């Protein structure tokens, strides 16, 4: 969709510097933006080079001083948070395809299923018995919804997602493709060498406004629940074991793994491929570095890295020191010889 500068300014509540009737027909990243395209600049490295930009318009911070510009031909849109504002415009230029709600006759729907208003249920969806589907829910092809599952208003389940029995999905939840919710946890009882299956009768609860990435695995509780709380976002290939709690607004980056019964606080960040041991607690607002392994509970407001985890600043120093270990090996061996020499000379002189 095309928008004029002034239409865009209204969407993001911006002050215009330049031609308000110019037409924007597309969006682009800062280095790629061409005439007729909108971009944004919030980092200094971009703000410094606006004069070299060919962009049709650029969203900049309120306090950007446009008088420093000499050559820039496009319009500036000044507003509070350029990045957030830019993506608001993206949603206007690329409005989501409007689909008239429908329930495909090629979906397989069980007994005693309650379906809300304006839902979209694609062909090749499977829904079990005693399921509740909220208003405006979208289920894509090859989604499996087990018995006694509930899905809240406005939630979207992408293709090839599996939601096993008894899972409770909140409102405005988005689940990406390939993800499995409610698989059995890894719990067995050893009898001699054989591992006997324990029945996992718990469930998964996902609260409102959660986004789950592609190919995640979230196990049901062994007893009770695995709980993903409001506003959590997970990246791809994340593993969450049985009875884990992930607190509000926590971010789990790609390939993270959380072992059974661990409890992650609110507003935590687990960076890419971080791992958390079972039965421990990671405090609110704590950040765990990439590749780190958290092996015991961590208080709130910490930054930790490494395996086993340690304070991030310490880890940075140690990570910088490790490549120099061989130099220090040399130093030690040299010191040994020198000290030995001193000791020998001393003995000789004593023996004289």
Residues forming the active site: 242
Closer to a copy of itself by Cβ: residue 114 or 124 = 124
- In the list 2, 66, 343, 347, the residue contacting a copy of itself (rule: CB under 8 A) is 343
- In the list 272, 280, 300, 312, the residue contacting a copy of itself (rule: CB under 8 A) is 272
Is residue 27 a contact point for a copy of itself (CB under 8 A)?
Answer: yes
Closer to a copy of itself by Cβ: residue 72 or 203 = 203
Is residue 1 a contact point for a copy of itself (CB under 8 A)?
Answer: no
Closer to a copy of itself by Cβ: residue 45 or 67 = 45
Site residues (CB under 8 A) for a copy of itself, limited to 208-267 = 209, 211, 213-215, 217, 219, 223-224, 231, 233, 235-237, 239, 241, 248-249, 251, 253-255, 257, 259, 266-267
Is residue 338 a contact point for a copy of itself (CB under 8 A)?
Answer: yes
- In the list 100, 323, 348, 351, the residue contacting a copy of itself (rule: CB under 8 A) is 323
Distance CA 323, CA 227 (A): 41
Site residues (CB under 8 A) for a copy of itself, limited to 118-147 = 122-124, 126, 140-142, 144, 147
Closer to a copy of itself by Cβ: residue 78 or 309 = 309
How many residues bind a copy of itself, per CB under 8 A? 107
Closer to a copy of itself by Cβ: residue 5 or 125 = 125
Is residue 191 a contact point for a copy of itself (CB under 8 A)?
Answer: yes
């Amino acid at each position: 969709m095309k928008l004029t500068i002034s239409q865009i300014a209204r969407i993001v509540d911006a002050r215009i510097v330049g031609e308000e009737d110019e037409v924007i027909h597309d969006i682009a990243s800062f280095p790629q933006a061409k005439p007729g395209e909108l971009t944004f600049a919030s980092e200094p490295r971009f703000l410094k080079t606006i004069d070299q930009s060919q962009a049709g318009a650029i969203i900049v911070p309120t306090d950007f001083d446009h008088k420093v510009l000499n050559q820039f031909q496009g319009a500036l849109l000044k507003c509070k948070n350029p990045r957030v504002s830019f993506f608001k415009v993206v949603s206007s230029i690329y409005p989501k395809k409007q689909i008239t709600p429908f329930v495909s006759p090629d979906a397989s729907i069980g007994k005693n299923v309650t379906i809300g208003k304006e839902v979209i249920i694609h062909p090749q969806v499977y829904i079990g018995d005693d399921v509740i589907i909220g208003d405006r829910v979208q289920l894509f092809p090859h989604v499996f919804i087990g018995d006694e599952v509930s899905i809240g208003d406005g939630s979207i389940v992408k293709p090839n997602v599996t939601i096993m029995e008894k899972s409770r999905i909140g409102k405005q939840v988005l689940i990406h493709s390939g993800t499995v919710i409610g698989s059995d946890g890894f719990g067995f009882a050893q009898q001699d060498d054989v591992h006997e299956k324990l029945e996992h009768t718990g469930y998964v609860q996902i609260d409102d406004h959660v986004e789950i990435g592609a190919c995640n695995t979230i196990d049901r509780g062994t007893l009770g629940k695995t709980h993903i709380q409001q506003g959590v976002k997970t990246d791809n290939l994340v593993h969450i074991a049985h009875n884990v709690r992930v607190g509000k607004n926590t971010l789990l980056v790609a390939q993270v793994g959380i072992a059974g019964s661990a409890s992650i606080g609110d507003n935590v960040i687990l960076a890419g491929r971080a791992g958390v041991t079972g039965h421990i607690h990671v405090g609110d607002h704590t950040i765990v570095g990439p590749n780190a392994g958290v092996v015991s509970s961590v208080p709130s407001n910490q930054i930790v890295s490494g395996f086993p985890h340690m304070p991030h600043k310490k880890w940075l120093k140690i990570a910088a020191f490790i490549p120099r270990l061989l130099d220090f090996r040399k130093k030690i061996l040299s010191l040994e010889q020198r000290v030995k020499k001193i000791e020998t000379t001393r003995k000789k002189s004593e023996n004289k």
